[in-house]
Each structure stands twice: as C-alpha cells, then as structure tokens.
Amino acid sequence: MKKMSAPQMSDAELVAGIKRMKQEKDIVVLAHFYVQDDIQDVADYIGDSYQLAKLATTTPQQTVCFCGVNFMGESAKILSPDKKIIMPDINAGCPMADMISSDEIERVKAQYDDLAVVAYVNTTAETKAHSDVCVTSSNCLQIVRSLPQKNIYFIPDVNLGSYIKSQLPEKNVILHDGFCCVHHKIRVAAVQEMIAAHPDYKILVHPEAQAEVVALGNVVGSTKVLLDEVKKNDAPGYIVCTEVGILHQMKKAAPGKEFLVPTRTQTCRSMKRNTLQKLYDAMHTLTPEIKMDEELMQQALRPLEKMMELAESKVSTL
Ligand code: 13P
Ligand code: SF4
C-alpha cells in the first residue's frame, strides 16, 4: 500500500504551533541574529552569542530551543546541565570551531610559563576544556585586559585575535590561524568602493573580518554592538560588514535607511540550516537534544563560568 506522507503545514500554521508549544511545553526559543527572519520573528529572544548564553541560564523555562549553531547549544548545556537543550538542527556547526586541536593548544602551553589560553566561544567543548577562559566578541577586550598573564594564546580566530592584539599592545597575543569563512571573505576593495560611493554612510564591522576591513570600520563589535549603533539612527545609511541575517533587526531599527552589504558571500550556511519546519519539529518531538559527556562538561564549564564572571564584573566596552 502506498505510504501517506504528513500534510505540509503552512508557515502560518507552523508559527501558530510554535507559539502554542512554547506555552504548553514551557519552552523558551532563543535565536541568534544570523538565523533567518521568520525564526527571529517567532523567537522569545534574539541576541549575540554572549547574550544568548546568558539567557539560556537565566530564563526560567526548563527547555531551551536554541536556534543557532551547535557550539551555542553546547555552551548552554554546559552552563545549565539540568535543562533540556534542543536545537532545530543539531548538525549546524561553525566550521571555525573545528580549526584547532587540543594537541596544538598543549604544544603552545608547554612553551610558556606565564600563559593564558583564551578560547573564542566558537569552539568545541574539548577545546574549551583545554582553555583558561572563553570570550565572545562583546567581552574579549575587557576579559583579556583583566587577565594577569602577559602571554595570551588566542584561539582559533586569527582576525578577532589580531583585533585584540591591536587594541591591547601591553599583551603578547599569540595567534592561531582559524577564521570564519563568512567574515574572512569580505573584501577590503569592495568596502572601499562602497565608501567612495557613499562617504556619509556608517561602516559597521564585526571583528571576525580581516584587519584591513576592521581598520575601515566606524564601529567594530559584536552583532549586538552593531545593531545598537543602528538604533541610534543617526546616519543616512550603513555599510554592513557581517552576516546578512542581522539586517532583519537593523531594518526594523532604522526603517527607510539604506543597508549595503559589500560582498555576496556574507551568508552563514550553518545558521541558515535552522528552518521554521525544523523548529516546529524540534519543539514537537523535543529532539534533537544536546547530550554530552559529563566529565567533558565539567572541564568545559570552568572557562565558560570564568567568562561569565569576568564579563559581568564591568559593563562590556566593545
Ligand atoms: P556574535 O557574538 O557577535 O553574535 O558573533 C557570533 C558569530 O558567530 C559571529 O560570526
Ligand atoms: Fe561560524 Fe562564521 Fe557562521 Fe559565525 S558566521 S557561526 S563564525 S561560520
């Protein structure tokens, strides 16, 4: 007999179902600024990676549905082991997270007495377990500045690491060679051409972009920092050097303003693996769920907790 497939639900039905399940199943939906617009619109909170990590621990719901990439879901689980953390697509991974191995970290550790291993939060739990403290782009300057060690091994992003190095000359920042394929490909020549055509537009740059692009930024910072700049609504337009998902909130913050994107490759395929249908299915089945080795979670908790402690000790400046 021919198998009947389930009838397709419309987007409106999916949204209605997601809203209903939030109430019925006590689920909070968190979404990164880079996920697609329809998910941002149905989420309870949208934020940068630091805001979302914090919200995963502070929101009262016992189930968190994390719409982002899997290091974000893992960090939420490590920080809130008693909560159920589900994701629309557990295979949405950040390629940069796999660009460093524990062996490489241990090799550098062996070369210095006075060294702090500072891991960008875009890393695996195993990498975190070999690190002293995690950072995001919203708190990296504040945290690295506050560390007693002079030697800082910043992993894995060479671009964010170079930015930290340029801002904190008192530290000896040792760089790794990882990068974000989305931000690394933003071409300086394309940004310069846009600046020439629109000299009065503000240039907003995420520090995962290359140093030449960062140098052109009027504002350099995390996704939240860039959005906050647009909320001031004091420029005729903006040249946006980060992933295009953020444009959804930027356009809401400054309606009628022009937003220009210098290169065509500013889309994170991993973030776009999250779809409305997968979000609905995850909430319906409460799977896929983040499951991790207990011992690894314990080891990775220390640098994440240290980040929370140091980031909260003073208001972030980046
Ligand atoms: P934010 O912390 O600025 O949101 O960045 C996350 C990220 O993955 C950037 O590519
Ligand atoms: Fe990773 Fe880059 Fe995607 Fe952010 S935008 S999740 S750093 S690949």
Write down the domain spans for the chain.
11-91+271-291, 97-181, 186-260
Average pLDDT along the chain: 96
Using CA atoms, how far apart are residues 178 and 169, in angstroms rounded to an integer? 21
Contact 248, 40 (CB under 8 A): yes
> Could you tell me the two tokens for 59?
């929101």
Inform me whether the pLDDT recorded for 1 exceeds 60.
no
Measured in angstroms, how far is the CA atom of residue 214 from the centroid of ligand 2? 17
Q: Is the C-beta atom of 229 inside 6 A of ligand 1?
A: no
Element (H, E) at 56: helix 49-58
Token pair 């009838």 in the structure block, residue: 7
Mutate to test the pocket of ligand 1, among 121, 183, 223 (most ligand atoms within 8 A of CB): 223
Atom 7 of ligand 1 has which residue's CA nearest to it?
49
Tell me: the pLDDT tens digits for 161-220? 999 999 999 999 999 999 999 999 999 999 999 999 999 999 999 999 999 999 999 999
What is the rounded distance in angstroms from the CA atom of residue 172 to the CA atom of residue 175?
10
From the CA of 103, how far away is ligand 1's center (Å)?
26
Query: What is the structure's pLDDT at 318?
Result: 42
pLDDT digits (tens, 9 = 90+) for 165-176: 999 999 999 999
Say if ligand 1 is within 6 A of residue 157 CB: no
Look at ligand 2, atom 5, and give the residue with the nearest C-alpha.
Answer: 268
d(CA 245, CA 267): 8
Q: Dump pLDDT digits (tens) for 51-89.
A: 999 999 999 999 999 999 999 999 999 999 999 999 999
Which element (helix H / strand E) includes 178? none
Pick the CATH number of 11-91+271-291 from 3.40.50.10800, 3.40.309.10, 3.20.20.100, 2.40.50.140: 3.40.50.10800
How would residue 314 be classed by pLDDT, with cut points 50, 70 and 90?
A: low
Residues with C-beta less than 6 Å from any ligand 2 atom? 34, 69, 94-96, 122, 180-182, 208, 243, 268, 270-271
Whether CATH 3.40.50.300 fits 97-181: no
DSSP state of 269: T
- Place 28 in a pLDDT band, splitting at 50, 70 and 90: very high
Tell the CATH topology of 186-260: Rossmann fold (3.40.50)
pLDDT for 122 beyond 70? yes
DSSP secondary structure of 121-139: SSS-HHHHHT-SEEE-TTT
The single-letter code of the amino acid at 44 is D
pLDDT of residue 275: 98
Q: What is the distance between the alpha carbons of residues 24 and 22, in angstroms, rounded to a whole number?
A: 6
